[in-house]
Amino acid sequence: METTGENLFQVKKERSYISCLVNGCSYGFKHLGLLLRYIWPSVLLTCVLPIPFVFLFAAQLDAILRKWTELGYIPRVTLNVMRHDIEKCANHSAVKVLIYVLWISFSSFLLYMPILLGFSIWWGLLAFSVSWLLLLPLSVVIMQISYSHTSVSECFKSGIKTGYRNFGKLFVFEFLSNLLIMIIVLLGSIPCIVLAALCLQAYHGSLMGDVLDLPVLFPLYIILADVIGTVIWLMTLIVFGFSRCLMWGSLVNEVPTETEANI
């Protein structure tokens, strides 16, 4: 494994949610170029075919962050060098996706069920909000699955308990980080939004009898806009992944190994 030439970073250390957010994003952005040297194949494949290669991207990113928590620096994590670790992370990524799907499905059910029963939409929004608050500790479970080597069942036991014990800190961190991610991804999606609006306007015009006069290279522009949006989304996940890793390290607050040093 190759070090980055930087001082070792103590990941498993008690920090405030602001410190986790700022330090993690700063470290991730500072080393983004280094990470892309190792992770570019999965980024490229995800841009070409998001499903299923986004799982490869997630597994490789988790492998990086796991090694970072253990070693205190970013190791060399090419597909060939860390094939075994990436395969393990891929299995855990499938579990994470299942948790996300069940979580979103259950919350969506609570959102629409009152409406289908004839109640006001506000009851659905209230049920949706309450369910997200009650299930918020699941985010710690997902962190445990991503960054630790413990079994999935143990991740649920310790993660739920840790999540409820640090509910306030976890809530503010998740709110701020997801808000920033949404803003960045939205800005990166502006080309896609503009082109989609043009397509919609041209479609409505054609229904009214107008001649469809879009440029010949318009499909290429759409593909390029999609690639730009996907790359920005993936880069955002990489950078904020380090903040989530620091948040997890702060919550578990494990004793650092002898190879780790303070930043």
Q: pLDDT tens digit string along 173-199?
A: 999 998 999 999 889 888 888 887 777
- With beta carbons less than 8 A apart as the criterion, state whether 136 and 174 touch: yes
Q: Going by C-beta distance under 8 Å and a sequence separation of 6 or more, which residues neighbour residue 251? A: 140, 143, 162, 163, 166, 169, 170
Residue 30 pLDDT greater than 80, yes or no: yes
Q: Highest mean pLDDT: which of 22-26, 53-57, 157-161?
A: 22-26
Ranges 58-67, 132-141, 175-184, 193-202: which has the least confidence: 193-202
The answer to whether 97 touches 146, Cβ cutoff 8 Å, is no
* Residue 59 confidence (pLDDT): 82
What is the per-residue pLDDT across 226-261, written as a single tens digit (0 to 9) for each? 888 888 999 999 999 999 999 998 888 644 444 333
Q: What is the pLDDT of residue 148?
A: 79
Question: What's the pLDDT score for residue 5?
Answer: 45
Closest CA to 13 of 263, 241, 259: 263
Query: Does the pLDDT at position 160 exceed 70?
Result: yes
| For residues 42-69, average pLDDT | 84
Tell me the percentage of the chain whose pLDDT exceeds 90: 10
Chain centroid to Cα 200, Å, comes to: 30
Question: What is the chain's mean pLDDT, rounded?
Answer: 80
- pLDDT, tens only, 192-233: 888 877 777 766 666 666 656 666 777 788 888 888 888 899
Domain ranges for the chain, please list them: 17-252
**pTM score, whole prediction:** 0.78
| Residues 129, 213: Cα–Cα separation, whole Å | 45
Other CB atoms within a 10 A radius of the CB of residue 138 amount to 18
Q: Which pLDDT value is given to residue 208?
A: 67
DSSP alpha helix (H) spans, 31-166: 32-48, 50-71, 83-116, 121-134, 138-147, 152-165
Residue 108 has a pLDDT of 79
Cα distance between residue 196 and residue 205, in whole Å? 14
Using the predicted structure, report yes or no on whether residue 135 has a pLDDT greater than 70.
yes
